[in-house]
Structure 1
Amino acid sequence: MKQILILFIFLAGAYTIPLDQVNPRWSLFSNTNGRMQVVDANPLQVDSEPFFNPSTDIQYHLFTRHNPTTSQRLTSDINTVLNSNWNPNNPTRFIIHGVDSDSNSLVSTLCRDQFLANGDHNVIVIDWSAGSNTFVYATARNRVGVTGGTISIFIDNLHRNGLITIENIIVVGFNLGAHVAGNLGKQVTRGRVGAIFGLDPIANLFSAGDTDRLAVNDASYTEGIHTNAGGNGFAEPLARATFYPNWGSSQPGCGIDITGNCAHERAVHLYAESITSNRFIGRQCSGYQQILTQNCPGIGSGTMGGDAVKTLSGVFFIATNSVQPFAQN
């Protein structure tokens, strides 16, 4: 009977189901591609880095207006940067995908195109799929620290060679990539990253007390955009400024979103649109409790997303359209 129940859950594509009656250690959740994955509720029992060497397995794909769709591969060898289209006078943007994904993910392609449309940037799409694509999610979750740390070494090396201004860097991370971005910011040694945008930071096997998650002080400015809060995404505010579009848990236009994947990915669409738009104006709430009660009269306003380092702080509500363009203002 238990086997039949589990099979039904997989076929139905249910969102997060504890398997308490079978084995209290395991549960199921929907990854960024809408497929079901097994979650180990006790990640300490899982080897955190089998078959993953971050110093060699993480890939850095450079896109510029001279090569907007075909990347140039960079490595820790600074000559690969010097012999590329890299322009040290241009702002630099990093994009980091989530679990079970790669450099061709939605966040990578949408944000890359919008950054290049908005300005002459060095856009680096990080591919850490060798570490993120695992059957047991806890293994990928446990790699966020070493992945972020390895990328920070790459950034420090660029700065050491006069190729980057760390304070002007913007990092965008979706899903598990939001926590990789946070760890990157924590471990850069030659300055402080300008801004980190965490797009619906994943909640599974993270808690408010964890030190390896996205946090307020990981950059000069940190912003969270929560679109599936309490589902795939973290519910509580993690960043200096946190936006909850349409109250954060579900999104208009997603219909019967059983896995929550549509709402989860909405954060990517909203941020990508915001890169070339300043029209996502939210109203500031007095605190997270007003998000939970869906009652935020507003004590101020703030613009969500964008392609700049900002100085906002607090919790914000914003209403959006159900289809593109999502901005209502």
Structure 2
Amino acid sequence: MKILTIVLLAANLLVVRAGVLGDIADALHKDIYKVVKTSVFTAQEVIGLPLKLDDIKFFYFNKHNRGQERVLKPLEPKELAHTDGKIFFLIHGWFHTKKNNPWYGGLTDGLLSMYPDATIVQVDWEKGSTQEYSFAAFSTQSVGKMIAELIKRLVEDYKVPISKFTCIGHSLGGQMCGWTGKYVKKLMKKELPRIIALDPAGPLFWLRPDAKRLNKNDAEVVEVIHTDGGTLGMFDPCGTIDFYPNGGSNQPGCLRVYPEQMLKNIELMYCSHGRACEILIEAIRTVGSFPARKCNNMEDMKDKNCHGTEMVLGDLETKEEGIYTFETNSESPFSTGLLF
């Protein structure tokens, strides 16, 4: 009886969280109740139609075509075979496409400035991301698998070292990076070097086991930036290193929003959720801009009682582990001061 009560409370919590999200009430409130009801009581999930390779578009940028996208053919990715530097896959989240994505451009520019020999691959899964949330969430697995198959092709057929790859995803894109890492292990018996998950999606993933959501075992390094934890994003640690700007939720400058407000302005809903992207872009552009303190545990992080080792967000080579927190300004520039 006690276990059933806990399960019901968890299910109700998801419904309440979804209901608070106003404009996505139709896409989340109904769907989450349906998904939670089936997954909690029958261990099943909503099943949609997996996306096919033709449904996914890949565009790449490097120092030779920095301002002009080029189409990448996933079955013949020879253009990436000659990359001297790192290869970054960028994956957007729900509601977004490549065209209306607010962070692809800034992060692409920042990464090419940091790594001039790199190639940036922007993934466009519009056919899945514009569906109702539950079906978009279902698509994360099929898209992650297709990206892993592309990496496998590059490694095995074109002799690209696995050490070159990094997956960066926002929201559902963060969960896709997790699936990519899982399938790289399954298909190749290798490990993806690094995942950077920007406020990885929480709804429909909170109650999932690690095998079906982003977790610290999906890559050698799984770096997570939590900015809307407990609402649109995951709050619990799910990486090898987890950053919690301003406590990981309700970012400064972002209003606490209510359903009637979201119906009028969807951007309000994404303010805290999207802040992870803005912070990473600024961290890459300005080295040392976000010094963070290590916390012994989540309780210390919540209590702002973190006095451990200091490191900076934006070090894409770090293999440090643990929970880190820092404070930001309420608007750009978000950095409160340089470490160096």
Normalised by the size of structure 2, how large is the TM-score? 0.80
RMSD of equivalent CA atoms = 2.6
Q: Distance in 2 between matches of 1:195 and 1:184?
A: 11
Q: Name the counterpart of 2:84.
A: 89
- Gap regions ≥5 residues in structure 2: 1-11, 39-43, 259-267
Contact between 2:174 and 2:198, CA under 8 Å: does it hold in 1? yes
Q: Name the counterpart of 2:34.
A: 42
Look up the equivalent residue of 2:200 and give its one-letter code.
P
**Equivalent residue of 2:67, what SS?**
strand
Contact between 1:171 and 1:197, CA under 8 Å: does it hold in 2? yes
The offset of 1:226, in angstroms, is 0.5
1:138-149 aligned within 5 A: 138-149=134-145
Q: Name the counterpart of 2:225.
A: 225
Q: Distance in 2 between matches of 1:200 and 1:26?
A: 16
Going from structure 1 to structure 2, the CA distance change for 1:321 and 1:27 (only over 3 Å counts) comes to closer
Q: Distance in 2 between matches of 1:107 and 1:195?
A: 19
1:1-329 aligned within 5 A: 27-28=18-19, 30=21, 37-38=27-28, 39-43=31-35, 44=38, 48-50=47-49, 52-78=50-76, 81-82=77-78, 84=79, 87-104=82-99, 105-120=101-116, 121-135=118-132, 137-162=133-158, 164-188=160-184, 189-190=187-188, 191-207=190-206, 209-258=209-258, 260-279=269-288, 280-292=290-302, 294-306=303-315, 308-328=316-336, 329=338
Q: Distance in 2 between matches of 1:260 and 1:250?
A: 11
- Gap regions ≥5 residues in structure 1: 1-19
**Equivalent residue of 1:211, what SS?**
helix
Q: Hey, which of these two has a bigger chunk of strand by percent?
A: 1
Contact between 2:85 and 2:164, CA under 8 Å: does it hold in 1? no
Look up the equivalent residue of 2:94 and give its one-letter code.
V
Q: Distance in 2 between matches of 1:195 and 1:26?
A: 30
Contact between 1:228 and 1:250, CA under 8 Å: does it hold in 2? yes
Q: How many residues align?
A: 300
Look up the equivalent residue of 2:298 and give its one-letter code.
Y
Look up the equivalent residue of 1:175 and give its one-letter code.
S
Contact between 1:25 and 1:41, CA under 8 Å: does it hold in 2? no
Look up the equivalent residue of 1:99 and give its one-letter code.
W
Deviates more, 1:258-267 or 1:170-179: 258-267
Q: Distance in 1 between matches of 2:277 and 2:158?
A: 31
Q: Distance in 2 between matches of 1:75 and 1:111?
A: 22
Q: Name the counterpart of 1:8.
A: none
The offset of 1:256, in angstroms, is 4.6
The offset of 1:202, in angstroms, is 1.1
Aligned structure 1 segments of 4 or more residues deviating by more than 6 angstroms: none
Contact between 1:87 and 1:122, CA under 8 Å: does it hold in 2? no
Look up the equivalent residue of 2:61 and give its one-letter code.
F
Going from structure 1 to structure 2, the CA distance change for 1:286 and 1:176 (only over 3 Å counts) comes to same
**Equivalent residue of 1:250, what SS?**
coil
Contact between 1:230 and 1:249, CA under 8 Å: does it hold in 2? yes
Q: Distance in 1 between matches of 2:46 and 2:234?
A: 24
Q: Deviations over 1:102-140 (max 9, x none)?
A: 1231232221121122222110001112122112x1111
Taking every aligned residue pair, what percent have the same amino acid on both sides? 26
Q: Deviations over 1:169-191 (max 9, x none)?
A: 12111001100001101111343
